[in-house]
Each structure stands twice: as structure tokens, then as C-alpha cells.
Amino acid sequence: MMIFRTELPYNPNSIKLDYKSKIFTIGSCFATEISNKLSQYKFSVLHNPFGVIFHPLAIENALMRIFSQEEYQVSELFKYEELYLSWDHHSSFSDISKERVLTRINQNINFANKFLQETDMVIITLGTSFVYKLKQFDIIVANCHKIPNTHFSKLLLAEHQIITSLKNIIDMLTDIGKKDMKIFFTLSPVRHIKDGMVENNKSKSKLLCAIHSVVESYDNCEYFPSYEFMIDDLRDYRFYKEDLIHPNDIAIKYIWEKFKQAHISSEEFITMQMVKKVNTSLQHKIQNTQTIAYKKFLYNIVKNIQDLEPLLPPGAFKEELQELRKRMDESY
């Protein structure tokens, strides 16, 4: 028998999530993919309260502000092309109103602090060892916001700097969280080829060595091999999007299934299938919305959600129920 791929075994004997669990995710855009999957299945998850951030110092800074509940001030914002932005946040926080930017940022800090106190699993996804220092103020930023690179110095973090940052992150999370909180580190398989292919591998290798060095020193930390699933297990350009940088839907689903089988209680799989069935029904398009069949269709979805509600976190389908009831009223 010929074997054409090396499948990565992953069967950790550790935390199993259920619908009572709270999950906090932070880091690069790959953390978003896992968070989206958890959210689709209606788990209680809080993702990236500072928006997508890529390097360990940015994640450390975000968690420090959340840990200390130190709210941002107007003086920490800057204006660029009519928009107010924060050097610590993703550009999705930008707005023409500095008051709205501050309100959203500070609300996220306070909510994240409360959420972390009850969190069962934290997933931290690191993307790069490269950082950008703003020359004007000599500060390392989380996002350059497409401002010309002449304003920045590009630096590659040393492994000891990354290790120190990760240890600070763990100490803060351990202090704020539950005694049995688990911290999972992952390395993003997204290829930062704008840095250069050789440079991308240097960057990833520093992160990988630092993560393993730290994880081995803490009982409450683990490593989830999303990077190895993509690079060594799937190992083919057909599992990338057209940009040849980001994993495609098939790859994300494959890695998600590995996470699901290892870290979600099998007792929840039936409930997850029921949630998936409701989500599929919600996406179904009906041509004629004035028929009895359409009204019955909406009623059945509402009933299925009501049957599910006792099994899920409170308000899991709140927005969907509001929309369904609005559509039911409009159909009469």
C-alpha cells in the first residue's frame, strides 16, 4: 500500500469544552477562523476585543489593558485621512468620531475583563515575529493602518523577547482567570510572504521555538498544531485560497474537525448538529413569502430554536429569533 501524505496524530488528554464553557480567542486572522466556527455552533466565545493583531507584544499590550481595565484616553488616538484610529487596535475600530472610537474601545476592555474572569479556555494565535516601531514616538504598534512605511522601523523580535512576552501573557491570564483555565497557543499557518519567504520562515521559527519553550514550563498551557496541520499534514497549494497565502475553506474545516474531536465533548455533537440544521434553515431562500408554506417554515425554525435554547448559552439565537418574528409579522 502506497502512502501519499503524512497525517499528523493529535489526541491530547486535556480540557473538553461544552455549552457551559466560555472561550476567549485573541491574535491573528487564523484565530478568527476558529472563533467563527465556535460562534456558528453557538458556543460562548469572545474574539479579539482589540481586533486582529499579529505579534506577541501587541497581544501582551492588549491583555495588559484588559487586565488592568485601563481605559483609553483621547490623547492615545490619532487622526489620519479624516478617521480617528488607535495604534493598539485594528483599523475596524476607526471612525470619524473620536467619541465613538473611545466608547467602543473602552466598552470592549471592560466586557473582556469580566469575560476572562469566567473563561475556561484561552486560544492565542501568533502570526509574526516582525514588529513595526513608530519613529515619531518610539513605540511598537499593533497596526500600521496603511500609513507610509517611511514612518516606521521594521524589527525582528529575538526569541528571548518573545518568551518574555508570552510569560507575561500567561501570568496575567492566570491571575485574572479561573484556577482551571487552560491556555492554548497556536501558530498561524497564514504565510506572511510580503516579508519574504525566507524571512517568513525565520519569523515563524522564532515564534514556534518560543511557544514550545514556554508551554513546557507551565502546567496550564498547551500547543495546538494548526500550523503543522497546514504545512505538514495537508501540505498542498490546493488547500490555500487563490492568494496562496490563506488556508481555504477545506483546510479550515479540516483543522476545525481536529480541534472539535480533541477539545469538544462528544456529548455536545448532537446539539451541534441541531444548531447546524437551524443555521442551514435560516440561510434558505424562499421566493414567495406570502404563502402558508412560508409561514409554516418560519414557525418550524422558531420551534426548533426554542427546543434548543435550554441546551445553549442564554440568548444564543436572540438576534435570529427577533428577525424570524419580524418576518412572521410581515408575512401576515
In a domain, 295, yes or no: yes
**163 and 300, same domain (yes or no):** no
Number of domains in the chain: 2
| pTM of the predicted structure, to 2 decimals | 0.93
Q: What percent of the chain has pLDDT above 90?
A: 84
**100 and 39, same domain (yes or no):** yes
**134 and 230, same domain (yes or no):** yes
The three cell numbers of residue 314 are 442564554
> What is the residue range of 153's domain?
22-264
In a domain, 244, yes or no: yes
In a domain, 13, yes or no: no
**279 and 297, same domain (yes or no):** yes
The last residue of a domain, from among 264, 295, 313: 264
Q: What is the tens place of the pLDDT at every residue in 278-321?
A: 999 998 887 777 788 888 888 999 999 999 999 999 999 999 99
In a domain, 149, yes or no: yes
Which CATH number do you get for residue 192? Answer: 3.40.50.1110
Q: What is the tens place of the pLDDT at every residue in 180-191?
A: 999 999 999 998
Burial of residue 288 (number of CB atoms within 10 Å: 0-12, 13-18, 19+): exposed
With a cut of 70, say whether residue 331 has pLDDT above it.
Answer: no
Q: What is the tens place of the pLDDT at every residue in 198-235?
A: 999 999 999 999 999 999 999 999 999 999 999 999 99
**171 and 223, same domain (yes or no):** yes
For CA atoms 214, 20, 320, 50, the dihedral sign is negative
**199 and 160, same domain (yes or no):** yes
- Any residues with CB less than 8 A from the CB of 3 and at least 6 apart, and which? none
Q: What percent of the chain has pLDDT above 70?
A: 99
**169 and 291, same domain (yes or no):** no
Res 170: pLDDT: 97
Mean per-residue pLDDT of the chain: 93
Res 332: pLDDT: 60
Buried-state track 211-245, b at ≥16 Cβ within 10 A, e below 16: beebbeeeebbbbbbbbbbbeebbeeeebbeeeee
Backbone angles phi, psi at 35, to 5 degrees: -60, -40
Upper half-sphere CA count for residue 278 (Cβ side, 13 Å): 25
**102 and 158, same domain (yes or no):** yes
Alpha-carbon gap, residue 69 to 115, rounded angstroms: 12
**117 and 159, same domain (yes or no):** yes
The last residue of a domain, from among 212, 232, 264: 264
Q: What is the tens place of the pLDDT at every residue in 232-278?
A: 999 999 999 999 999 999 999 999 999 999 999 999 999 999 999 99
The last residue of a domain, from among 207, 241, 264: 264
In a domain, 17, yes or no: no
**130 and 186, same domain (yes or no):** yes
In a domain, 107, yes or no: yes
Residues belonging to the chain: 332
Confidence of residue 15 (pLDDT cuts 50, 70, 90): confident
In a domain, 14, yes or no: no
Alpha-carbon gap, residue 155 to 135, rounded angstroms: 12
In a domain, 16, yes or no: no
**Contact predicate 24/119, CB 8 Å:** yes
**205 and 297, same domain (yes or no):** no
**233 and 213, same domain (yes or no):** yes
